[in-house]
Amino acid sequence: MKFGANTFIWRSPFTTESDLDLLDKVKGLGFDLIEVAVEDPALVDVSMLKAVLVEKDLGVVTCGAFGPGRNLSSLDPAERNAAREYLTWMINAAQELGSEVVVGPMYSAVGKARLENEQDRQTEWGLAVEGLKEICAYAVDKGIKLAFEPLNRFETDLINVVDQGLRLIDDVGAPNLGFHLDTFHMHLEEKDSVAAIHKAGDRVFHFHACENDRGVPGTGQVNWEGVFTALMDIGYDGNIVIESFTPQVKSIARAVCIWREIAPDQDTIARDGLKFIKSFPGMA
């Protein structure tokens, strides 16, 4: 397995003009890769980023940000088109950068959480399936996998648990579509995170190691021993990325409702979190 840190820990939005120093930081903290959260493609010079990644001998994962207006399952065609264009850019960037997977809650827009009537829910589900079929077909020709992230009920009304995600995978029917699982969301939504990981099995394409309060992994209530054992049980050998937040990144703090200090500082989240993960047998 390889270990990474998401740029959201330190900055938002990521831009190659001002944030390439994070590659040195992530490398210096002992990570194998950096997960670049791309909020605005116009701020990211892919060629420049690739050159620095090669120089630093650092791996990369491209992580999508699906805010309002970028919704693959929207009833508004303009929002669906914006999501398709964004995902196409992400796939092209992933191929150029050497990221084997594009990750994030790509089936909808984060923050869309409301009780729909059944007809609209079925329509939105169908639009998500249709959109993902198209995007997966494009991605497979580029050699890229897509890993969608189930979110907690306060952030989405579409995919909250693995059971729903398995239905989505079945309906889309694409071999390059799988899960991006996150222990923060699983802790809130799954009856049993360990059982959910086992159920997802070889469709786990990406994994976020995040504490239940979004603080330093290992300082809260997540059943880490069970989680890591389950990952080894299913033969997972992909990336494990720390994605946590502090009030210092105000735009993200507002988006994910971080109102208090949950870690001593941003570097501690990454440094101590990595040390904790690697302390488990078989994880180093």
The pTM of this model reads 0.95
Mean pLDDT in the chain?
93
Residue 245 confidence (pLDDT): 67
Rounded to the nearest angstrom, the gap between the alpha carbon of residue 56 and the centroid of all alpha carbons in its chain is 23
Task: State yes or no: pLDDT of 172 exceeds 60.
Answer: yes
Q: Write the CATH number of the domain with boundaries 2-278.
A: 3.20.20.150
3-state secondary structure of 121: helix
Over residues 74-90, the pLDDT tens digits come to 999 999 999 999 999 99
β-pairing, 2-6 vs 239-242, is: parallel
Provide the percentage of residues in the chain whose pLDDT is more than 70.
93
Which distant-in-sequence residues (6+ apart) come within 8 Å of 212 by Cβ? 183, 184, 187, 188, 220, 221, 222
Asked whether the bond before 13 is cis by omega within 30 degrees of 0, the reply is yes
**Catalytic-role residue among 35, 79, 100, 243:** 243
Q: Residue ranges per domain, the chain? A: 2-278
Structure tokens at 84: 């398709």
pLDDT of 94 reads 98
Per-residue pLDDT tens digits for 24-70: 999 999 999 999 999 999 999 999 999 999 999 999 999 999 999 99
174 CB contacts (<8 Å, ≥6 apart)? 132, 133, 136, 137, 140, 146
Residue 173's Cβ-count burial label (10 Å; 0-12, 13-18, 19+) is: exposed
Higher pLDDT, 278 or 245: 278
- Binned at pLDDT 50, 70 and 90, residue 248 comes out as low
For 195-245, write each residue's pLDDT tens digit.
999 999 999 999 999 999 988 999 999 999 999 999 999 999 999 999 986
> What pLDDT is attached to residue 264?
76
Q: How confident is the model at residue 187 (pLDDT cuts 50, 70, 90)?
A: very high
For the question of residue 149 being annotated catalytic, the response is: yes
> At residue 249, does pLDDT exceed 70?
no
Q: How large a percentage of the chain has pLDDT more than 90?
A: 86
Asked whether the predicted pLDDT for residue 253 surpasses 80, the reply is: no
For 95-142, how does the pLDDT look when each residue is reduced to its tens digit (9 = 90+)? 999 999 999 999 999 998 776 788 999 999 999 999 999 999 999 999
Active site residue 96: no
pLDDT at 261: 67
- Quick one: pLDDT at residue 118? 87
What SS3 state is found at 150? coil
Q: Does residue 256 surpass a pLDDT of 70?
A: no
Q: Exactly one of 35, 149, 155, 189 is catalytic; name it.
A: 149
